[in-house]
Amino acid sequence: MPMLRSLLEPEDDAATRAFFTELLTEPMPPPRVPPSPRGPERVWRPPLDQTGTPLGTLIERHPAYGWGLEDLPVMTVRQAHRTWSRGRFGKFASRKTGRSVRSRNSLEFDLHHDWEVDPTVVDFVERPVRLRYVGEAGKPRHHVPAAAVRWIDGTTEFVDLTWEEAEEKPARKRRWERVGRAYASLGCQYRVLTDLDVRRQPRLTNIQTLFRSRQVRAPAARTFDRLCAALSSGTARMGDLPALVPGLTPKQVPWLILRGILAVDLELPLVEARVVRLAPRSSVLRTAMGA
């Protein structure tokens, strides 16, 4: 070290000292979450030719579920028990659905949060319909999917949740096959998701970070105008936005992403260097700011 110091010019030594001093003053970056694999796709789509015999019947629906099935009888939604061990893991007030969404277990809870944050999801309903179909022994069976989701492109699908290790059981696979074929015969798309799909990283960490920002105070209208001006011609890094937009705080950046004002890839880690842009719905951004 003394030999190296003797080789440095005085100005080089000062520059080196300033460089390492600056590194020590910067905050430590958050740990990088390694990406996790997704489960195999398990989806049953309706055939293009809907001339076959239906393999099931939808007999009732959730009060919040319409989407073309308004003529179905409405099922009774009983008051959930207050303890997670008796049927309810949790609930939250959903801004997207305009009501309280109930989750029966932690996997549903994470999926509901994902859909609440995902800008490509328009609406979702837990336990939306009841299906009557024929089981393996020829006896009538009933099935209630975990949820129904409506995407921004207008497509809808029924979704069930399970654990990847449980999905490997032959009896479970046969049941999903019968249920999926019954929904497809009725013109409905049906999908089975597992914990590998719902809790994949870094998306799960991103969703949790954005959901925690829902109580952050909204930026002022003039701050919104400055944001539009700063990003009107391109993109910017998340960490640079507070400096580019006067009046914008670092805590308000995740809130803007949560409200769909800023667009970001949720499959990549949300770090200060992540590039963000204005969402395509620029004409309704001011409405979102005041919501």
- Round to whole Å and give the CA distance between 214 and 256: 9
Q: Please report which confidence band the pLDDT of residue 210 belongs to, taking 50, 70 and 90 as the band edges.
A: very high
Alpha carbon distances (Å) from 24 to 20, 21, 154: 6, 5, 51
Cα radius of gyration rounded to whole Å, the chain: 25
Q: In this model, does residue 130 exceed pLDDT 90?
A: yes
Lowest mean pLDDT segment, chosen from 33-47, 80-94, 189-203: 80-94
Final residue belonging to a domain, choices 198, 218, 253: 198
Per-residue tokens: 253: 């950046």
In-domain check, residue 80? yes
Instruction: Name the pairing type of β-strands 156-162 and 190-194.
Output: parallel
- Round to whole Å and give the CA distance between 30 and 249: 19
In-domain check, residue 10? no
Lowest mean pLDDT segment, chosen from 77-81, 191-195, 238-242: 77-81
Q: Please report which confidence band the pLDDT of residue 27 belongs to, taking 50, 70 and 90 as the band edges.
A: low
Which class for 159: exposed (0-12), middle (13-18), buried (19 or more C-beta within 10 A)? buried
Final residue belonging to a domain, choices 179, 198, 217: 198
184 and 240 share one domain = no
Q: Please report which confidence band the pLDDT of residue 193 belongs to, taking 50, 70 and 90 as the band edges.
A: very high
In-domain check, residue 17? no
Q: What CATH number is attached to the domain comprising 285?
A: 1.10.10
Highest mean pLDDT among 39-53, 159-173, 188-202: 188-202
113 and 191 share one domain = yes
Look-up: residue for tokens 């207050």?
82
| Residues forming a β-bridge with 263 | 277
Q: In this model, does residue 83 exceed pLDDT 50?
A: no
111 and 215 share one domain = no
Q: In this model, does residue 283 exceed pLDDT 50?
A: no
Residue range of the domain that includes 179: 43-198
53 and 172 share one domain = yes
